[in-house]
Amino acid sequence: MKKFTSDIVIGLEIHTELNTNTKLFCGCPTKGSEEPNTRTCVTCLGMPGSKPVLNKKAVEFALKLCMALNCEISPELVFSRKSYFYPDMAKNYQISQYEIPLGKKGKLRLGSGKEIGITRVHMEEDPASLVHPAGMKESAYVLVDYNRSGNPLVEIVTEPDLASPDEARDFMKQLIIVLSYIEIFDVNEGIIKADANISVKESGYTRVEIKNITGFKEIELALMHEVNRQQNEIKNNKQIHQETRAWDSEKGVTFSIRKKETEEDYGYIIDTDLVIIDITEKWLNEIKKHMPELAQDKVRKFVEKYRIKRDDAEIIASDRQLAEMFEKVAEKVDPNLAAKWLRRELVRVLNYNKKEISESGINERHMIDLLGLIEKKKITDAVGQQIIEKLIEKPFDVNEYVKKEKLEAVSDFSELEKYCKEAIAENPKAVEDYKKGEAKALNFIVGSVMKKTKGKATPKEVNDIILRLIK
Amino acid sequence: MNVPEFVEKIRKNEINIVEHTEKIIEECRKINKEYNYFNTISDGLALKQAHEIKKLIKNKDKSIQNKRLLGVAVSAKDSICVKGVESTAGSRILKGYRPLFNATVIEKVISEGGIIIGKTSQDEFGFGSFSVFSWFGTPKNPFDKERSCGGSSGGPAGIAKKANFPHISLGESTGGSIAAPASFCDVFGLTPTYGRNSRYGLIDYGNSLDKVGAIGKSCYDAALLQEAIAGHDPNDSTSLNAPADDYTEIMEKPVKGMKIGIIKEAFGKGNDKSVEKYVNEGIDRLKEEGAEFEEISLDLPIKYGLATYYMIATSEASTNLAKYCGMRYGAVEKLEGSFNEYFTKVRSANLGDEAKRRIIMGTFARMSGFRDAYYIKAMKVRTLIINEYKKAFRKFDALVSPSVPILPPKFSEIEKLTPLQNYMMDIMLVSPNIAGLPHLSVPVGYEKNLPVGMLLTGDHLQEGKLLQLGSVFER
């Protein structure tokens, strides 16, 4: 048993869906028709005589995760039966892993650099989903939809290394970045759920489990609530019991579902319907070939090689497509300029249009051309922003576009001075105000010049000219 | 008329297959009234198949030349799923259950032209040695209706003997359920190597032990059906990737020079004297044919086989039976209370005592705190047992023992047996089953009109050698 020192001790058990095309032990599709019980067969319905056949793709996905989390990988893949009766179970046992998990003794680093131990990573099948037609408590009956039954899941169990709800949230965030990098999880549609074990120093670390928290933002909320609850109970001279609680996300509270006298007994046995599969070096090497460089390695590289700010590096690296674009762009233009534009402008425009880079049609060529023009002051920042917005709609050749639309910055001094003189003449009140000491009035005149040039002038330059003219 | 002669006549259109099938269905009904060999007679399916074959013959379809079971009646143990035909594995909890798919072995039989005539009676889920633990009637010994057919494939062995028309049975063995009834019913029962025949569509007892096998009136019949159903099946992960052998050809080879080990511990104490007498006569027959014998001690399998078997088989069975809870198929009860109360009610009312006994035993053996001492220990002993056999097969082509230590007992005698005495019937049979070794029960004689069977056990995938030896006793 570990000796705890922190005020709060948290360990997580995270279940995440693998985005394979077919289920873990049959050929039924994992996505498609939402009509209940249409993506089913005799195997995922648990019909007598049906047998499971392993989906190798799912194993490869799980192996990628083990590699990404630096786990020791078992030389053999062994499945066990976890027995318990529940209406969402097709066979009243779940095919899972027990003695020999696929991966163990791994680690994942938080944003702060703190390492969190991974106890184990194992594979299992998803049960069916229960539908309560009139709500959880009011329904007179429950319907079962087996579309989800047999979907591939991985369970990731951490050591109790997390010392705050904030760290738990960050762990989930880092994990989701890893999952999306190795492309085994659908960030938009995939389900990620966690059970959290939490205890506080004041209670002598009596462990309470919170079941079934969905999504990483909810985790922090549930844990914050639970820490408060436990600390308040102690303050009020009440005892913390070892128990299992559930999180009600609408009310923002946890509630007790059962007291834990002993550990549950699942009576695990080897599932001999499935054969033990060797995880060979050859297989692992084949998978390794397709492993991308991971986010945390990219952050390090961005800071050390490209000398950009850690904060920028982390944000860019959190999205694999953005990170890969950055690397290519930073080879051609000033990395700091690239970081600023990718992190701020590109992400802003993508978010506004609710698009991924791959869906937008914008590629590194566009960004290199665009930032090249900005770097050489051929176009202004304002024009650059406009071009990105246009690129999202429909990609085009940036250099040609700038020429065709005559968007080059006004660099002819006499032309610029002409616009400035016009603006001063048209705004005598603003000039007067400025002279009286209202600094803001100057901005008004600059803005007027910008309008005349359609953004093709640099505000700083315009500013300088006007100041000189009205002195 | 034997099976190959019959198939030839069907091919030549000398027998009207539809009329023949109607006649044998009638015959099965008659036999069944007296002997209880069928849980379901699938007359609808059988006649549909007969009409299809008739059409093939009428059209002189080329495929009929390759169909090895053309027109031959095949019955299937009730635990083997047949699409649309009630398949209960002898349990009331599956009453009314009609599978949505055919077991792979059924698919293979049908594609070979075999006609599925029905589902045969058995102990509930295969739990028994005498077929008395059935919800749908106990099959009676073809030699004496007061006596047992053996189990759990009692119906398959009984009808294999009793059918007076060309017919072969599909049986299933987990811990001796083919050899024991074959011995009691005077037929050839071949349990194949584990994984040799697909288990897809077999209602599970113990997944690491279950094997579908053939039971035939003649050694040839068993070899023929085994030939038809063997081979790899992508739907069963445990199915072996080894091509099926031509068993009917291999069995013709002479046995001269084959080396056979006589299992020392299987003779003497505990056997009925007459059983031993006829098994020794069988050994003499093989000697006459030039087979060489030597004694071998298999201490470990005989000593620990039974305990190991019951730990593993019941552990697996207790998980396999969990799915029967009145939710998706089979028996239902009045819906009330929590799901736990409902499941309990369905299972209490619709599982038999022996099934409950094995569920409790198996659940106990895998509970935390006991798991290491029972389930895990048994898994380890299993490996030791396999190793001991493997060592023996470096020297021998086959091993010999009685199939069952006794003659078919009377039902009145069986009633007096304790569960442990019941389990002791399979003492010779559990170890080859634990080790996944093929074994063949061969009829070797009669004591007071009751049959005696001799057990031949072979190395993995050596079904052919067993059939070679068995054919010496061909009728």
Q: pLDDT for B12-65, tens place per residue?
A: 999 999 999 999 999 999 999 999 999 999 999 999 999 999 999 999 999 999
Tokens of A297: 């390695």
Looking at the structure, give the CATH architecture of the domain made up of residues A413-470.
Answer: Orthogonal Bundle (1.10)
- What residues in B contact A59, CB-CB < 8 Å? none
Q: Which of the four pLDDT bands, split at 50, 70 and 90, describes residue A322? A: very high
DSSP single-letter state for residue A365: H
Gap between the Cα atoms of B171 and B179, Å rounded: 10
Tell me how close the Cα of A294 comes to any Cα of chain B, in angstroms: 35
Q: Could you report the per-residue pLDDT of B434-461, keeping only the tens digit for each? A: 999 999 999 999 999 999 999 999 999 9
Residue of A nearest to B199 (CA): A49
Please tell me the predicted confidence (pLDDT) of residue A1.
53
Residue B402 lies in a domain: no
CB contact under 8 A, B323 and A46: yes
Residue A158 tokens read as 């951490």
Of B153 and A265, more confident: B153
B83: Cβ contacts below 8 Å, ≥ 6 apart: B98, B99, B100, B101, B102, B106
Does residue B361 lie within any of the structural domains?
A: no
Residues of B annotated catalytic, as ranges? 77, 152, 177
Locate A434 and state its tokens.
């400025």
User: Does residue B111 have a cis peptide bond before it, meaning omega lies within 30 degrees of 0?
Assistant: no
Dihedral in degrees, nearest 10, Cα atoms A332, A336, A341, A346:
80
CA–CA distance, A427 with A425 (Å, rounded to integer): 6
Tell me, what amino acid is at B361?
M
Residue B28 lies in a domain: yes
Distance, CA of B475 to CA of B472 (rounded, Å)? 9
Identify the DSSP state of A243: E
Q: What gap in Å lies between CA B189 and CA A292, rounded to an integer?
A: 57
With H, G, I as helix, E, B as strand and everything else as coil, classify residue A455.
coil
Where are the extended beta strands (E) located within B265-416?
Answer: 292-296, 398-402
Structure token digits, residue A31: 């996505």
How confident is the model over B70-95, as a mean pLDDT? 98
- Asked, for residue B388, whether it belongs to a domain, the answer is no
Are B409 and B415 in contact by the 8 Å Cβ rule? The answer is: no
What are the extents of the domains in chain A?
Answer: 8-283, 293-404, 413-470
Q: What is the distance in angstroms between the Cα of B240 and the nearest Cα belonging to chain A?
A: 11
Angle, alpha carbons A81-A87-A89 (nearest 5°): 30
Task: Say if CB A125 and CB A95 are below 8 A apart.
Answer: yes
| Whole-prediction pTM | 0.91
pLDDT in tens, A245-274: 999 888 899 999 887 656 678 999 999 999
Confidence of residue B310 (pLDDT cuts 50, 70, 90): very high
The segment with the largest mean pLDDT, out of A189-193, A342-346, A390-394, B74-78, is B74-78
CA distance B461 to A433: 102
Q: How many domains does chain B have?
A: 1
Reading the block at residue A437, the tokens are: 């000491």
Domain region containing B91:
3-250
User: Cβ of B267 under 8 Å from any chain A Cβ?
Assistant: no
Two structure tokens written together for B280: 């020794």
Q: Rounded to whole angstroms, how far apart are CA atoms B189 and B470?
A: 10
Cβ neighbours of residue B30 under 8 Å, at least 6 residues apart?
Answer: none
Q: What is the CATH number of the domain that holds B51?
A: 3.90.1300.10
| Over residues B139-148, mean pLDDT | 98
Per-residue pLDDT, A261: 59
Answer yes or no: do A265 and B368 touch at CB < 8 A.
yes
Residue A101 at interface with chain B, using a CB cutoff of 8 Å: no
Kindly state the percentage of chain B with pLDDT values over 90.
94
Pick from B192, B179, B167: nearest CA to B244: B192
pLDDT for residue B285 is more than 90? yes
Cα angle at B62 between B58 and B65, to 5 degrees?
100
CB–CB contact B204 A49 (8 Å): yes
Residue B159 — pLDDT band, cuts 50, 70, 90?
very high
Residue type, A420: C
CA pair distance B129, B180, nearest whole angstrom = 7
Which pLDDT score is estimated for A333?
A: 95
What is chain A's mean pLDDT, rounded? Answer: 92
For A290-325, the DSSP string reads TPPPPHHHHHHHHHHHS---HHHHHHHHTSHHHHHH
Residue at B56: amino acid letter: L
**Across residues B67-85, what is the average pLDDT?**
98
Quick one: pLDDT at residue B239? 97
Q: What share of chain B is helix, strand, coil (3-state, %, to 5)?
A: 45, 15, 40
> Is the Cβ–Cβ distance between B24 and B117 less than 8 Å?
yes
In a domain, B131, yes or no: yes
pLDDT of the residue at B145: 98
Q: By the CB < 8 Å criterion, does A93 face chain B?
A: yes
Q: Give CA–CA dist A338/A302, Å, rounded.
A: 11
Q: How far is CA B405 from the centre of its chain?
A: 18
- Given this model, what pLDDT does residue A2 score? 64
| Chain B neighbors of A26, CB-CB under 8 A | none
**Which chain B residues contact residue A268 at CB under 8 A?**
366, 371
Q: Which residue of B has its CA nearest to A55?
A: B237
Q: Would an 8 Å CB–CB cutoff place B188 in contact with chain A?
A: no
CA distance B158 to A14: 55
- Please check whether residue B283 lies inside any domain of the structure: no
Beta carbons of A247 and A213 less than 8 angstroms apart: yes
Whether the CA torsion A19, A24, A29, A33 is positive or negative: it is negative
Across chain A, which distance is largest between two alpha carbons, in Å? 94
Strands A152-158 and A8-17: antiparallel
8 Å CB contact of B375 and A269: yes
The reply to whether residue B101 touches residue A42, judged by beta carbons under 8 angstroms, is yes
Report the distance separating Cα A217 and Cα B353, nearest Å: 52
Note whether A48 contacts B339, CB cutoff 8 Å. no
Sequence-ordered list of residues with C-beta below 8 angstroms from that of B212, at least 6 positions apart, any chain: B80, B103, B105, B170, B171, B172, B192, B197, B198, B199, B202, B229
Cβ B263 vs Cβ B455: under 8 Å: no
Q: Examine the pLDDT at B82 and tell me if it is beyond 70.
A: yes
Top pLDDT among B398 and A265 is at: B398
Query: In this structure, is residue B96 part of a structural domain?
Result: yes
Predicted ipTM? 0.95
Environment class of A347 (CB within 10 Å of its CB; exposed 0-12, middle 13-18, buried 19+): middle
Partner residue facing B100 (CB), from A42, A53, A268? A42
Measured between CA atoms, how close is A99 to chain B, in angstroms?
11
Lookup: tokens for A304 = 């050390």
Residue B108, in any domain of the structure: yes
What is the pLDDT, as a whole number, of residue B76? Answer: 98
Contacts of A347 (CB under 8 A, 6+ apart): A315, A322
A87 to chain B: which residues are within 8 Å by CB? 327, 339
Residue B195 one-letter amino acid: G
pLDDT grade for A356, boundaries at 50, 70 and 90: confident
Q: Is A17 buried (19+), middle (13-18) or exposed (0-12) by CB count in 10 A? A: buried
Cβ proximity of B157 and B215 under 8 Å: yes
Average pLDDT over residues B287-295: 98
Distance CA A85, CA A265 (A): 12
Q: How far is CA A10 from CA A71, A229, A243, B297, B335, in A?
A: 20, 15, 15, 58, 42
Tokens encoding A292: 């991308």
Of A122, A213, A221, A219, give the one whose Cα is nearest residue A174.
A219
